[in-house]
Amino acid sequence: MNHASLNFYKDLPLVNDFKAIFKPDCYQELPQDWWIVITDIKASTAAIEQGRYRDINSLGGCTVAAILNAVKPTAIPYIFGGDGATFCIPSQLIEQVSSALRGCIKLASDSFNLELRAALIPYQTIQPKAKVLVACYAKSDSLHQAIFVGGGLNEAEKQIKSDAKWHVQLTDDKAEADLTGFECRWNRIASPQEVTVSLIVQAINPDIDQQLALYQQLMQKMQTYFGEDEQLQPLSVDGLELMYGKQYLTAEADARTFTKKNSYFFNLWDIRIQNFIGKVLMKLKLKLGKANWGRYKEDTLLNSDYRKLDDAFRIVFAAKKSVLAEFETWLASQEAAGAFSYGLHISDAAQLTCLISQLGVKHIHFVDGCDGGYALAAKSLKQKQKQSGENNESI
């Protein structure tokens, strides 16, 4: 076993400032013997139109939990995209990951009545056309975000769509998904400004240095329009509220029922009781062991992944409507000039899908816009790229 390859992501130098991800020298290439895993939900747009975006996000979160549990204790780079996720894994873990993916496909069908598509493709198949370059942004002790450039993830998705041999199918082989840590309990989080925007920007220039410079310019322009990170943050402490209603908890209860085999009714009420205890602990600001419940909501904001880079720049942010209109004018001018393509979706709130690895201590929170978020932003982007003739189906 190649331990140097196995520990590739764990051994990456940490980037502690998000602005530093725009520097080319903080990236390292994925090892030759690694694989790329891509999951998404078929007909997710139709499900969103039926009001099922919470289910879409939850199923995406389930795949993250299942894959991370399957590869433990190995650290791997991954990114959550709303209606799916992308992972890079060492070849030694293919069997465990394949089993977890089959389990997630079965979960999607049996518990969500959705079709999850999953594929595995070796990095060496991608390399002749593109690279996967990875950096690790340490936003907090709990949240280490993988950052990807090089075009390799885009190329992987193109090849997966054109050749079904990479697709994972349900077979008689082992299919087990350990969803430990997956939670989906927060209410919609109203925008701290007026609206919550889900934005995806795809650079057109294939040169990596030029792409990073463009994304850096984009972030600087956003800060000029909207302010620093605190103003861009789509979440707020006051907006975080644990819920009890069935419509908010069904996704997690269904996932538990699939894996733990307890009844749905038992799982639903177990979550409700845990939420009640959590509310009491946070209200009383109690400290239990390493958990400081008085800081839990502040830590939730700190551990949220509201912006990311995976061959496209993605961000969920809060904005005033009038300022957003001015920013959209700038975006349109840059798109017309051929700098990038973009898609965005506007909502009044954000939503969270959560992974809890140590109760009250280590927790991360995937942010998306409500009512369509990244999925509808991606739909808008794809339509523009199709009209302009860009050959890019990766978003």
Kindly report, residue by residue over 25-62, the tens digit of the pLDDT: 999 999 999 999 999 999 888 898 898 999 999 999 99
Q: Give CA–CA dist 192/344, Å, rounded.
A: 18
The predicted structure's pLDDT at residue 390: 59
Q: Convert the pLDDT of each residue in 277-291 to its tens digit.
A: 999 999 999 999 889
**Apex CA 18: angle with CA 14 and CA 22, to 5°?**
95
Domains and CATH numbers, the chain: 7-178 (3.30.70)
Beta-strand pair 189-190/362-369: unpaired
Provide the token pair at 65.
């939990």
Provide the token pair at 104.
């997630």
What share of the chain has pLDDT > 70, as a percent?
A: 97
Q: Convert the pLDDT of each residue in 67-84 to its tens digit.
A: 999 999 999 999 998 888
- Of the candidate ranges 258-262, 314-318, 368-372, the one whose mean pLDDT is the lowest: 258-262
- Contact criterion met (CB below 8 Å) for 372 and 345: yes
Q: pTM for the full model?
A: 0.93
User: Residue 15 CA to chain centroid, in angstroms?
Assistant: 19
